[in-house]
Chain A
Amino acid sequence: MEMILMGLCVAVFGMGVAAVAFGAATRSVSSDSVVQPQLPLVKAAAPARFFSDRAAVTPTVPSVTPRQVPIEVLLLQIENHVRMEQAAAEVFIAFPSQAHLHSKTASPFVN
């Protein structure tokens, strides 16, 4: 009888320890879940910074790219633009209409 009671006590104690351990484990998980919102924030912040960096870089691209073009190429592009505009103007003078006045050309300066 005493042995049974002793075994029962040990079993109850063991279950108590297990319960405490489970509780502790569960609490640690829940505390992690409290921290977790910060992780997504951090993760969200990183892409946001990434995109904001891209957004910051993107507007500078048009101003940087033409500077990388040799001036001779740029002058040639200007000349081609003038030639295309002149051809479009010639068509308007030959056949005056609003559509011809504002017709599009393939010039990279206006596309």
Chain B
Amino acid sequence: MTHELLNGLSSAEAEQVLRLGTRLMVPAGTELFRLGDPADRLFLTERGRIRLTMPMQVRGREEDIFVEEMAPGQTVGWSALIPPYRFTLTAIASLHEAKVIALPRESLQGYFAANPAAAYKIALNLAVVIGHRLQLSQTMWVREMQRTVEVRSA
């Protein structure tokens, strides 16, 4: 299993990082974390899929609206490494049980301090993950804005 966050690391480095974490089984439909929760752990998806949702009012009711789905190998909960360390989405295991590796922030920070070369590679990988999310969000926002403008100027 290759994890996007560990790209470019040697197998020894990757193994060291993975040993910092705990493997968790998340039953289908169970929350991994909720929007607003303190983000003190980063998750690497190993099996199953994790749905990311945000709340939205639908017919006067608050509903968790699908935002994105993370597949095995992808990183979930990078808010654990970005201040103010609060989750901005809710993560739920999809239709099947998911398996993730939970990496505590403190353990990661300790590893980064002791292994700056590996930390640099992980930081670059994290930048790719965050950058991709930013590009997606930006593109989807412009598409929605375009439609709003078309409706309002029609």
A53 to chain B, nearest CB (A): 26
Quick check: is B109 within 8 A (CB to CB) of the other chain?
A: no
Is B59 a contact of A67 with CB atoms below 8 Å?
Answer: yes
Is A93 a contact of B63 with CB atoms below 8 Å?
Answer: no
* A interface size (C-beta, 8 A): 18
Q: Report which of B63, B140, B144, B146 forms a contact with A86, defined as CB distance below 8 A.
A: B140
In terms of DSSP, what is the predominant structure of the interface of chain B? helix
Is A75 a contact of B63 with CB atoms below 8 Å?
Answer: yes
Quick check: is B58 within 8 A (CB to CB) of the other chain?
A: yes
Q: Report which of B58, B65, B142, B147 forms a contact with A101, defined as CB distance below 8 A.
A: B142
Q: Interface residues, chain B, CB within 8 Å of chain A? A: 58-59, 61, 63, 65-68, 132, 135-136, 139-140, 142-144, 146-147
Is B143 a contact of A82 with CB atoms below 8 Å?
Answer: no
Supposing A67-B59, A102-B146, A110-B147 touch, asked if A89 and B139 sit within 8 A by C-beta, the answer is yes
Quick check: is A21 within 8 A (CB to CB) of the other chain?
A: no
A56-111 interface with B by 8 A CB criterion: 67, 71, 74-75, 78-79, 82-83, 85-86, 88-90, 92-93, 101-102, 110
Q: Report which of A74, A90, A102 forms a contact with B143, defined as CB distance below 8 A.
A: A102
Is B67 a contact of A82 with CB atoms below 8 Å?
Answer: yes
**What A residues does B143 contact at CB under 8 A?**
85, 88-89, 101-102
Question: 7 tightest CB-CB pairs across the interface, nearest first?
Answer: A89-B139, A79-B66, A93-B135, A89-B136, A89-B140, A92-B139, A85-B140
**What A residues does B61 contact at CB under 8 A?**
71
**What B residues does A102 contact at CB under 8 A?**
143, 146
**What A residues does B59 contact at CB under 8 A?**
67, 71, 74
**What A residues does B58 contact at CB under 8 A?**
71, 74-75, 78
**Complex-state Cα separation, A93 to B139, whole angstroms:** 8
Supposing A71-B59, A101-B143 touch, asked if A90 and B65 sit within 8 A by C-beta, the answer is no
Residue pairs across A and B with Cβ atoms less than 8 A apart, 9 shown, are A71-B58, A71-B63, A74-B59, A75-B65, A79-B66, A89-B140, A89-B143, A101-B139, A110-B147
